[in-house]
């Protein structure tokens, strides 16, 4: 069982308040998730996330395969930090930290994802595919966020 890590950083040309308003609204998640993932929300989502919030989704990580994914927001330190953790889903373990801080030119958004792939040896054989897929998901998100017309209040 190997713990894998994905780290990403992106600077958004806006202020911390605007960044937090976007990312703390879980209803924005489908817009920054690639269509090929077959992502769909299966539970009502509030306008703002909060510690203890549970969300249910369906995803298609492999062709012709759909799985349920249930996550919980476990930590929130507005407007700097939140964590989502998988409670049920495609990973054996999923812990995703979202960090936000003001920098020259906007807000640095940094993601730190730690995950374990299930299925023992078979999962380890699929690790490179999963890593590639996660990179593509975060690349898609990066590209979408680059195209947003962020309200500048700097």
Q: What span, in angstroms and rounded, lies between the C-alpha atoms of 97 and 81?
A: 7
In the chain the domains, ranked by start, together with CATH numbers, are: 3-147 (3.30.530.20)
pLDDT at position 150, please?
A: 83
Q: What span, in angstroms and rounded, lies between the C-alpha atoms of 27 and 46?
A: 8
Q: Is residue 45's pLDDT more than 70?
A: yes
Q: What span, in angstroms and rounded, lies between the C-alpha atoms of 68 and 73?
A: 17
Enumerate long-range contacts of 120-128, CB under 8 Å, 24 or more apart: 120/1, 123/92, 124/2, 127/2, 127/4
pLDDT in tens, 1-43: 789 999 999 999 999 999 999 999 999 999 999 999 999 999 9
Give the pLDDT mean for 54-76. 93
My answer on whether omega of the bond before 79 falls inside 30° of 0, hence cis, is yes
Q: Is residue 152's pLDDT more than 80?
A: no
Give the pLDDT mean for 120-142. 87
Contact 144, 137 (CB under 8 A): no
Average pLDDT, the chain: 92
Q: Is residue 138's pLDDT more than 80?
A: yes
CB atoms within 10 A of CB 41: 15
Strand ranges, E, within the chain: 3-12, 40-41, 54-62, 65-77, 81-88, 93-103, 106-116
């Amino acid at each position: 069982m190997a713990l894998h890590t994905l780290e990403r950083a992106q600077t958004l040309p806006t202020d911390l308040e605007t960044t937090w308003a976007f990312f703390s609204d879980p209803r924005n998640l489908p817009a920054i998730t690639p269509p090929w993932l077959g992502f769909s929300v299966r539970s009502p989502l509030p306008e703002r996330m909060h510690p203890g919030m549970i969300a249910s989704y369906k995803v298609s990580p492999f062709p012709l395969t759909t799985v349920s994914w249930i996550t919980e927001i476990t930590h929130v330190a507005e407007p700097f930090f939140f964590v989502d953790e998988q409670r049920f889903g495609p990973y054996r373990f999923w812990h995703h930290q979202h960090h936000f801080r003001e920098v020259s030119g906007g807000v640095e958004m940094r993601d730190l994802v730690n995950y374990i792939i299930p299925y023992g040896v078979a999962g380890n054989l699929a690790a490179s595919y999963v890593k590639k897929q996660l990179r593509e998901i975060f690349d898609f998100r990066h590209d979408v966020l680059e195209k947003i017309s962020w309200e500048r209040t700097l």
